[in-house]
């Protein structure tokens, strides 16, 4: 079954490679990504600096490797928090039913009425730059999708025989949700989360590009795009390298999500 799923194989290979780069890349990098050497300003690629140096003489490859750790770390953290918050809210609303369900879902609709990225920009501007504030802003944008997904699935599952049997045995509320319902949603949640990581990578890069993400001089793919655009005519690699890194990351997670969706649909 997996052999007939090229999206899953290619996506998983790219994601595993990205994780290895994020974990091992900074450990084997020979150059400090924050080290400034003005004598090597905009130095072209060569031995010791395989992607050249930026306007401050910092090694571009080292910054790409460290940026992978930051981007993947932020993305996975945001998706994990969004999934937990959204699953609890959506599942609780579906189990409660009635007015509680209606009020919760109207709140979700209000949040969804705002464009997600604009909401994240507004929250990031209020909270200020920084990794923790960036995670909060992106989580506030991302939990609603999981809430709607879990609510819809729980509404269809709560009438199943094994759920009724669990109720008869005394399972109520949080136990019913955590022990019986959410495990049955592992497949759809995994697909949603995989696609979500790619979206968060783009959102984090966009906020960092606007100066609302990580604090300088921390290496971030979005901030590298911002700092490199002034030299796009003389040193296009300063924007090409982080752009390719972002594109490959999003492609890998989207292919993995598509493969997982096919795998879940075949069961």
Contacts of 177 (CB under 8 A, 6+ apart): 88, 91, 92, 95, 154
One digit per residue, the tens of pLDDT, for the chain of length 267 reads 556 788 889 999 999 999 999 888 877 777 889 999 999 999 999 888 889 999 999 999 999 999 999 999 999 999 999 999 999 999 889 888 888 899 999 999 988 888 888 888 888 888 888 889 999 999 998 999 999 999 998 888 877 776 767 677 666 767 777 777 888 888 899 999 999 999 999 999 999 998 888 877 888 999 999 999 999 999 999 999 999 999 999 999 999 999 999 887 755
Q: Is 7:264 a contact under the CB 8 Å cutoff?
A: no
Q: Is residue 94 part of a domain?
A: yes
Q: Is residue 113 part of a domain?
A: yes
Q: Is residue 42 part of a domain?
A: no
What's the full length of the chain, in residues? 267
Query: In terms of Cα–Cα distance, which of 67, 31, 52 is closest to 231?
Result: 52
Q: Is 259:182 a contact under the CB 8 Å cutoff?
A: no
Contacts of 178 (CB under 8 A, 6+ apart): none
Count of Cβ atoms closer than 10 Å to residue 106 Cβ: 9
Task: Write the CA distances from 172 to 21, 164, 176, 213, integer angstroms.
Answer: 45, 11, 5, 42
When divided into structural domains, the chain yields a total of 1
Q: Is residue 37 part of a domain?
A: no
Q: Is residue 47 part of a domain?
A: no
Q: Is residue 32 part of a domain?
A: no
Q: State the pLDDT at residue 179.
A: 73
Q: Is residue 40 part of a domain?
A: no
Q: What is the dihedral of CA 222, 223, 228, 230, to 10 degrees?
A: 110
Show the domain range for 212.
6-23+60-265
Q: State the pLDDT at residue 173.
A: 63
Q: Is residue 184 part of a domain?
A: yes
Strands (DSSP E) found in the chain: none
Q: Is 136:119 a contact under the CB 8 Å cutoff?
A: no
Q: State the pLDDT at residue 170.
A: 67
Q: State the pLDDT at residue 2.
A: 56
- What the block records as the tokens of 169 is 């045995």
Q: 49 - beta bridge partners?
A: 46
CATH number for the domain including 245?
A: 1.10.3720.10
Q: State the pLDDT at residue 51.
A: 92
d(CA 97, CA 3): 43
Q: State the pLDDT at residue 1.
A: 52
Q: How far apart are the first and last CA of the chain?
A: 10
């Amino acid at each position: 079954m997996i052999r007939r799923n090229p999206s899953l194989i290619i996506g998983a290979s790219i994601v595993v490679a990205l994780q290895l780069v994020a974990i091992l890349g900074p450990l084997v990098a020979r150059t400090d990504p924050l080290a400034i050497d003005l004598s090597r300003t905009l130095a072209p690629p060569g031995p010791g600096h395989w992607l050249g140096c930026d306007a401050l003489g910092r090694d571009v490859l080292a910054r790409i490797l460290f940026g992978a750790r930051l981007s993947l770390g932020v993305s996975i953290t945001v998706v994990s928090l969004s999934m937990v918050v959204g699953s609890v809210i959506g599942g609780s609303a579906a189990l409660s039913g009635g007015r509680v369900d209606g009020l919760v879902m109207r709140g979700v609709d209000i949040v969804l009425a705002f464009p997600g990225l604009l909401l994240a920009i507004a929250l990031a501007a209020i909270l200020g730059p920084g990794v923790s504030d960036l995670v909060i802003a992106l989580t506030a944008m991302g939990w609603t999708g999981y809430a709607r997904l879990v609510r819809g699935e729980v509404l269809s599952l709560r009438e199943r025989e094994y759920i009724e049997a669990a109720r008869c045995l005394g399972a109520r509320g949080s136990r019913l949700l955590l022990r019986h319902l959410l495990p049955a949603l592992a497949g759809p949640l995994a697909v949603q989360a995989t696609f979500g990581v790619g979206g968060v990578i783009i959102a984090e890069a966009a906020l960092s590009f606007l100066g609302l993400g990580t604090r300088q001089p921390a290496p971030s793919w979005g901030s590298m795009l911002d700092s490199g655009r002034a030299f796009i005519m003389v040193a296009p690699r300063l924007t090409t390298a982080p752009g390719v890194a972002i594109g490959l990351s999003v492609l890998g997670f989207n292919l993995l999500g598509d493969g997982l969706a096919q795998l879940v649909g075949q069961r």
